[in-house]
Amino acid sequence: MHGASRIKEVVIINSIPPDLLSEPARAFAGRSHGLLIGGASVPAADGRKFTTPDPSTARPIAEVPLSGPEDVDRAVRAAHAALKKSAWATMPPAERGRLIGRLADLVEANADELAELESLDGGKPVKLAKIVDVTGAVGALRYAAGWPTKIIGDVVPQSIPGAFSYTRKEPVGVCGQIIPWNFPLLMAVWKIGPALAAGCTSVLKPAEQTPLTALRLGELALEAGLPEGVLNVLTGDGSTGAAIVDHDGVDKVAFTGSTEVGRGIAGRAGHALKRVTLELGGKSANIIMPDADIAAATKGSFQAIYYNTGQACIAGSRLFVHRDHFDDVVGALAERASTARVGPGLDPKTQLGPVVSAEQYKRVTGYIEQGKAEGAELVAGGGRGGQEGNGWFVEPTLFTATSDDLTMAREEIFGPVLVAQPYEDLGEVTRKANATEYGLAAGVWTRDVATAHKVAHQLEAGAVYVNGWGRMDPAAPFGGVKASGLGREHGREGLEAYLETKTIWIDVA
Ligand code: NAP
Ligand code: MG
C-alpha cells in the first residue's frame, strides 16, 4: 500500500461529476496532506507516504504521510507540551467546553464536505454519512462540550477525628487514540470528545483505509481555537498504531478495531500499566420471538445487518427466528436483499456501498465461499449486485443454517452477510445467542413486555435492543463484554475513562 510515487489525484477526483462531489470536498481531497503535529501540518520525518483509494473504483484518491516512530515521538511530545504550556488541563472548564462546542459548530457547518469525503474515502452512501456519521459527530461533540463544567469530586465522610478529605478528578494525560475505518469521523469524535472534555490531549490515528476526515477534523480543531498540540493527527498503518501504544509518553490507549489487534494492545498496555479502553468485534444475536410484529422485525433485522454494508461492530449478524415464522421472515429478507441498490457511495440512490478495501472484499467473499462449502444454504446475494469495474462490491447476502458450528456463524465477517437459523424455544435460543466469545450487542423482537425484560437480562452483551436495532446516544454507555472489549464509551463512564481520582487529606485538628 505504500505507493511512494506521486499520484495524479486531482485528475482522478476530477473524473467524479461536480453534482456528486462539491468543490470544498474536491479541493480538500486533491490537496497535499500533512500530519497534524503541534498545530502544524508537516510531512512524515522520513518522507514516506501512502495512497488511500476510492472503494467504488479501487483508484487512488489522495496521498497522505505514513507516520513512523519519529513522528509518533514528536506528536506525543507536542501533546505533553499542550497539557502544560497551553494549560489545556487547567484551563477554566467553561473555556474548554466553549472550544469543544465551537468544534461541534464547525463540523456542523462543514457537514456536506465531511459527508462527501467520508463517502469518497470509505465507500459508504453519502446520505448515511451525513445522517449518521456527521450528525452523530456533532451530537457527540456537543455532549462532550457540556462535561468540563460538570466534572466534580466528592467530599469524603471521615471517621478519623481531625481529618478532612476530598477527591479531585484530574485528566489522565496524553491519550493515544486508534480508530477503525467503518465510521472514521464518528469514531474520531467518540475518542477525542471525552478526552478533550476531561482535559487530556490526544494523538489520534485514523485507519489507513480512511485517513481524510480525521485530517479535516484536525484542521477544524485549529480553526475552532483548540491550542496547538491538544489534538494531533497521525496518518499511518498498524506500525504507527503500535508505536503510539508503546510510546512511554502515552498515558492511556483508547482503541476501536478487531479483537485480535485489541488483545495485543491490551497486553502491551497492561505490561506498561497504561490505562486502556477497547471497543472490539462482535457477532451479535438478533432474536425474533413468536409473538413479534413480524413486519417490523423483518425490516429492523435487515437494517441490523446490512446497514453500512455490514461493516458495523454491532451488526446483527446471527438471526434466530422462531420456526413458526422462519420461512416467512427468510423469504421477506431475501426479497428485500434482492431489490436493495448496491452502488458507489457518492450516488444518492445507493443503499449499500462497496466494502472498504480489497483486503475486506477478499475476506468477506472468502466467508461466503466457505459458508457454501460448509453446507449453509445461500438464499440471496453472494455476488456483486450487478456492479462492474474494480470496486469492492458485495450484495446483501443471506444464508440459512441449522447448525451454529459453521465458521460464518461464529466469526465476525464485517460485511453484508447474514446467517439465519430457526429455533423452537426460549431456553434454546438464549443459550445459542450467548454461545459466542463476543458480547457487544444483542436484540429481541417481542410484543410481550415481560419477555422483553427477561430476555434482555439473560443476553450476555453490552447493549440489548428491544424492537429496534443500533440506537446510539452520547449519553448512553456503549461497549462490550467478553471479547468485545474493555470499558465503556459515552455517558459518565466514557468520561471517567479519561480521569484519574486524587484523594487529598487535610489535617484540621
Ligand atoms: P484492525 O487491524 O484492528 O485496525 C483498527 C485500527 O488499529 C487501525 O487504525 C489500524 O491501523 C490499527 N492497528 C493495526 N494493527 C495495530 C497494532 N499492532 N497496534 C496498534 N494499532 C494497530 O482492523 P482492520 O484490519 O482494519 O479490520 C479487520 C477486522 O477487524 C474487520 O474485518 C472486522 O472484523 C474488525 N473491525 C472491527 C471494528 C469495530 O468497530 N469493532 C472496526 C473495524 C474492523 P491500520 O488500519 O492503519 O493498519
Ligand atoms: Mg488493518
Cα radius of gyration (the chain): 23
Give the binding-site residues of ligand 1, using a 6 Å CB cut-off.
Answer: 178-182, 205, 207-208, 237-238, 241-242, 245, 256-258, 261, 264-265, 279-281, 313, 363, 412, 414
Is there a contact between 282 and 412 (Cβ–Cβ < 8 Å)?
yes
Helix axis angle for 111-122 and 93-109, nearest 10°, is 70
Which ligand is nearest to the Cα of residue 258, counting in written order? 1
Single pTM value for the model: 0.97
Instruction: Tally Cβ neighbours within 10 Å of residue 492.
Output: 14
Helix axis angle for 93-109 and 135-145, nearest 10°, is 170
Q: Measured from the CA of 264, which atom of ligand 1 is nearest? A: 18
Is there a contact between 42 and 22 (Cβ–Cβ < 8 Å)?
no
Question: Which tens digit of pLDDT belongs to each residue from 123-175?
Answer: 999 999 999 999 999 999 999 999 999 999 999 999 999 999 999 999 999 99
Q: Measured from the CA of 440, which atom of ligand 1 is nearest? A: 41
Domains assigned to the chain: 6-280+487-500 (3.40.605.10), 285-473 (3.40.309.10)
11 has pLDDT over 80: no
468 has pLDDT over 50: yes
Is there a contact between 382 and 368 (Cβ–Cβ < 8 Å)?
yes
Q: How far, CA to CA in Å, does 301 sit from each of 283, 398, 417? A: 14, 12, 12
Which ligand is nearest to the Cα of residue 241, counting in written order? 1
Is there a contact between 325 and 290 (Cβ–Cβ < 8 Å)?
yes
Catalytic residue among 113, 118, 228, 279: 279
Of the chain, the end-to-end C-alpha distance in Å amounts to 67
Mean pLDDT of 318-331: 98
Element (H, E) at 264: helix 259-271
Give the residue whose CA is nearest to atom 13 of ligand 1: 238
Question: Which tens digit of pLDDT belongs to each residue from 345-356?
Answer: 999 999 999 999
Give the residue whose CA is nearest to atom 46 of ligand 1: 207
Task: Tell me, yes or no, if 313 is annotated catalytic.
Answer: yes
From 261, 309, 360, mutation site for ligand 1 pocket: most ligand atoms within 8 A of C-beta: 261
From 177, 178, 482, mutation site for ligand 1 pocket: most ligand atoms within 8 A of C-beta: 178
Instruction: Determine the distance separating the centroid of ligand 1 and the alpha carbon of 177, expressed in angstroms.
Output: 12
Phi and psi angles of residue 498, each rounded to the nearest 5 degrees, phi first: -110, 15
How many angstroms separate the CA atoms of 65 and 397, rounded?
A: 36
Instruction: Sort residue 40 into left (φ over 0), alpha (ψ -120 to 50) or beta.
Output: beta
Question: Which tens digit of pLDDT belongs to each residue from 70-122?
Answer: 999 999 999 999 998 778 998 999 999 999 999 999 999 999 999 999 999 99
Catalytic residue among 9, 113, 118, 313: 313
pLDDT-derived band at 328, boundaries 50, 70, 90: very high
Give the residue among 234, 238, 284 at the shortest CA–CA distance from 265: 238
Phi and psi angles of residue 43, each rounded to the nearest 5 degrees, phi first: -75, 170
pLDDT-derived band at 38, boundaries 50, 70, 90: very high
390's grid cell: 474494480
How many angstroms separate the CA atoms of 68 and 228, rounded?
A: 21
Phi and psi angles of residue 500, each rounded to the nearest 5 degrees, phi first: -105, 150
Give the residue whose CA is nearest to atom 19 of ligand 1: 242
436 has pLDDT over 70: yes
* Residue 288: per-residue pLDDT: 98
Task: Tell me, yes or no, if 175 is annotated catalytic.
Answer: no
* Residue 7: per-residue pLDDT: 52
The mean pLDDT value of the chain amounts to: 96
Which ligand is nearest to the Cα of residue 209, counting in written order? 1
- Which residues have a Cβ under 8 Å from the Cβ of 336 and sit 6 or more positions away? 298, 299, 302, 396
* Residue 405: per-residue pLDDT: 87
